[in-house]
Amino acid sequence: MSNQKSNEAEKLAQQVGATLRGIRKEREMSLQELAEVTDVSKLTLGKIERGEANPSLTVIWKIANGLSIPISSLLAEKEEVVISRKNEGNKVLSSNEDLTLEPMFTNSGYGSLETHRAFLKPGGTYYTEAHQDDVIEYVTVMEGEATVQVMEQRYELNTYDSIKFKADQRHGYLNPHQEPAVLHFVMIYPNAKQRP
């Protein structure tokens, strides 16, 4: 790993740790209580909070879902002005590598809104299980065409078409065309649930 990548990973680990510690303290939770709601070990959570571990995407998802917060809230830097440039941020690939997701922004700290850009390969498909309860998803096709499937219903979208739906049900994205599709996602989460 190059020094720059190593420094970036260390910076991200410290940022995630500080954010997680802040959320836990604000909710007056012990590490043990956090471990119980996230299904992540107390030892691992302690290392993450101290910035000693760079958590995997799976662990970040468990923490976000356990706390009922957007995943990007754990990855977001606290800056007044942030520019999200294509191919410069974090990237997450679907297991079949048809969809590349680039988290862009969260409204603040660990707020209730997050945005992503996604690139869906020609002929590609990506299906996801239900998100947290009451999550609303907005999708706009920025380039190309795509089909959005919500449960069994399919919706054809052309360039600049948008769709809004409740994302707490199974849904997916298909690109039956020969050109890549670029999608813009906005997800609105219900207010973070307060836990004892």
| Residue 191: band (very low, low, confident or very high) from pLDDT cuts 50, 70, 90 | low
| Contact (CB, 8 A) for 103 and 89 | yes
| Contact (CB, 8 A) for 179 and 122 | yes
What percent of the chain clears pLDDT 90, i.e. is strictly above it? 45
Specify the CATH number for the domain of residue 172: 2.60.120.10
* Assigned token pair, 146: 């795509």
Specify the CATH number for the domain of residue 12: 1.10.260.40
Q: Which domain holds residue 56?
A: 3-67
| Residue 129: band (very low, low, confident or very high) from pLDDT cuts 50, 70, 90 | confident
What percent of the chain clears pLDDT 70, i.e. is strictly above it? 83
Residue 120 pairs in a beta bridge with 99, 181
Measured between alpha carbons, how far is 137 from 6 in angstroms, rounded to an integer? 34
* CB-CB neighbours of 51 under 10 Å: 18
Please indicate whether residue 159 or residue 86 has the higher confidence score (pLDDT). 159
* CB-CB neighbours of 47 under 10 Å: 16
Residue 79 lies in a domain: no
